[in-house]
């Protein structure tokens, strides 16, 4: 029996009163999670998010389902070794996720960048005055993404640009995404 939720976590939006038919996990984020996390199967056509918004949704679902390896693998490759996978896993497990709201998706910023503004909702407990009350809160973020050529299968792949990752790079160095442009004229504009 599957331990995954029937409704995909990225389809739950607690701020919306509209009733729609949300996608099941198996029809939404699972193909992306399984495709990237099972690359050793050497599938040439594993599912890749085709937009920054789709990548954002798969990353949110990976946090809810505690898939820290997916979070790392969908972060810009130059930043992956700088991430703390145990901290990502711990944060994902400790957070009581409640839903996702995509506010805006700007699919084209320059040649290869995009932005997604979102709210990731979570519950917190308030133990004040001997009452246990859950409160819905939101992590509101404007995230940047970059599309990088994927030499292994002649395509390209979207990656998250993590602004919290400490990188020692100057504005005049080649960009970390491999575009060939100077960092300040490429990803440096969004990190």
Most confident range (mean pLDDT) of 75-89, 143-157, 162-176 is 75-89
Higher-scoring residue by pLDDT: 3, 49: 49
pLDDT of residue 118: 97
Q: What is the mean pLDDT of the chain?
A: 86
Rounded Cα gap, residues 163 and 144, in angstroms: 8
Q: What is the pLDDT of residues 177-191, one digit of tens each?
A: 999 999 999 998 888
Does residue 81 or residue 155 have the better pLDDT? 81
pTM for the full predicted model = 0.86
pLDDT digit string (tens) for 51-78? 999 999 999 999 999 999 999 999 999 9
Which stretches of 95-183 are DSSP H helices?
none
Percent of the chain with pLDDT over 90: 62
Would you list the DSSP string of the chain? ---S-SB-GGG--TT------PPBGGGTTHHHHHHHHTGGG--TT----SSHHHHHHHHHHHHHTT-HHHHHHTB-HHHHTTS-HHHHHHHHHH-EEEEEEEEEEEEEETTTEEEEEEEEEEEEEE-GGG--EEEEEEEEEEEEEEEEEETTTTEEEEEEE-TTS-----TTSBPTTS-SSBGGGTGGGT-
DSSP state of 40: G
pLDDT at 27 over 60: yes
112-150, pLDDT tens digit by residue? 999 999 999 999 875 555 455 578 999 999 999 999 987
Of 48-52, 82-86, 100-104, 125-129, the poorest mean pLDDT is in 125-129
Mention every residue, 6+ apart, whose C-beta is less than 8 A from residue 19. Answer: none
Q: What is the pLDDT of residue 165?
A: 86
């Amino acid at each position: 029996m599957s331990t995954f939720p029937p409704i995909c976590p990225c389809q739950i939006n607690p701020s919306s009163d509209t009733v729609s038919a949300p996608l099941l996990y198996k029809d939404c984020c699972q193909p992306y999670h399984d495709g990237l996390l099972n690359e050793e199967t050497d599938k040439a056509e594993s599912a890749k998010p085709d937009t920054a918004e789709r990548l954002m949704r798969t990353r949110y679902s990976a946090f809810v389902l505690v898939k820290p390896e997916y979070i790392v693998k969908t972060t810009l490759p130059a930043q992956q070794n700088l991430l703390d996978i145990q901290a990502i896993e711990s944060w994902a497990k400790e957070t009581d996720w409640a839903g996702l709201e995509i506010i805006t998706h700007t699919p084209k910023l320059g040649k290869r960048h995009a932005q997604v503004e979102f709210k990731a909702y979570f519950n917190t407990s308030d133990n004040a005055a001997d009452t246990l009350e859950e409160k819905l809160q939101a992590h509101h973020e404007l995230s940047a993404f970059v599309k990088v050529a994927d030499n292994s299968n002649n395509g390209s792949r979207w990656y998250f640009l993590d602004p919290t990752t400490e990188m020692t790079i100057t504005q005049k160095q080649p960009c970390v995404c491999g575009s060939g442009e100077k960092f300040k004229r490429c990803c440096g504009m969004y990190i």
